[in-house]
Amino acid sequence: MKRYALEGSVIIIGILFSFYIEEMRIQNKNVEIKNELLLDLNRAIESDIIQINNVRELLNKSQAEISEIQSDIKTNHQQISDLEAIKKLLAINVSISFFPQEGVFTELVSSGSFELIKNKELKSKLLEIYNHQKERNYSISDDIDVLMKDYTQAIMTNFRIGINYSPFDGEIYGTLIMEDYVFDSEYYLSNEFYGFNSTLKIFGFLYSRLLNDIKKSHEAILLLSLAEIG
């Protein structure tokens, strides 16, 4: 009788041990998947940082053009020619937006791997950039797009700029070619136009600051995720 009880106990222990081994195998596999996704996320984060730097560089160039235009307006249009002013106005564009790569984070959440992250600060930073900062980014981008559209319309209308298009120049969208213009000095020197440029410059500064905050969060995630994987 004792022999049967012992054999039964051995069988039960064996079954429980096999369940434990299988559970550990699944858990280790899930951790492995989580770490692979974090490595993929790091590559996306690094790419996003490059994009942020490029967008901020373009914003800085546009803000420099605005500063030169306003400086010329202050001197009653004595610093640059009509043609130079038109070229600078056409070069201004602060509606360059940053679009984060969200695919890996989405997979991290949908696969359940996000819950396996042990570092609470990493989880907090991920939620910050893919929720709060993402919404702020899209919100201010939408506002700037509307403002930039109105600014472009004002330039094209008041300076009567004729445009042609070369579809095969440029990396993505082709190149706009100015064919002719009629310079409106009165509008150029007006308070309305000066204020328009100031507003555009303010939004450029605000967006650049937001991008800087997003970049810092991205850099923090790179360090935290490497620590998590290690």
Of 96, 145, 103, 134, which is closest to residue 210 (Cα–Cα)?
134
The pLDDT assigned to 15 comes to: 62
Give the Cα separation of 123 and 114 in Å (integer): 8
Confidence of residue 51 (pLDDT cuts 50, 70, 90): very high
The pTM of this model reads: 0.83
Q: Per mean pLDDT, which range of 21-25, 29-33, 45-49, 68-72 is the poorest?
A: 21-25
pLDDT digits (tens, 9 = 90+) for 58-81: 999 999 999 999 999 999 999 999
Q: Provide the phi-psi class of 166: left if phi over 0, else alpha when psi is between -120 and 50, else beta.
A: beta
pLDDT tens digit string along 17-28?
565 666 666 676
Check the CA dihedral 177-52-153-83 and report its sign.
Answer: negative
| End-to-end alpha carbon distance in the chain | 52
Across 103-117, 171-185, 202-216, least confident range: 171-185
Nearest Cα neighbor of 196 from 66, 90, 104 is 66
**H helices within the chain, ranges in order?**
2-74, 82-91, 103-110, 120-127, 133-158, 185-188, 191-229
Domain count for the chain: 1
What is the rounded distance in angstroms from the CA atom of residue 8 to the CA atom of residue 4?
A: 6
Burial of 201 (0-12, 13-18, 19+ CB in 10 A): buried
Q: Provide the pLDDT confidence category of residue 176 given band limits of 50, 70 and 90.
A: confident
Identify the three-state secondary structure at position 196. helix
Distances (CA, A) of 194 to 93, 98, 191, 229: 16, 27, 5, 53
Q: Which residues pair with 176 in a beta bridge?
A: 165
pLDDT number for residue 178: 83
Domain ranges, residue 22: 2-229
pLDDT digits (tens, 9 = 90+) for 133-147: 999 999 999 999 999
CA-atom Rg of the chain in angstroms:
29
Structure confidence at residue 177 as a pLDDT band (50, 70, 90): confident
List the one residue out of 123, 125, 139, 127 whose CA is nearest residue 210.
139
Average pLDDT of span 184-211: 96
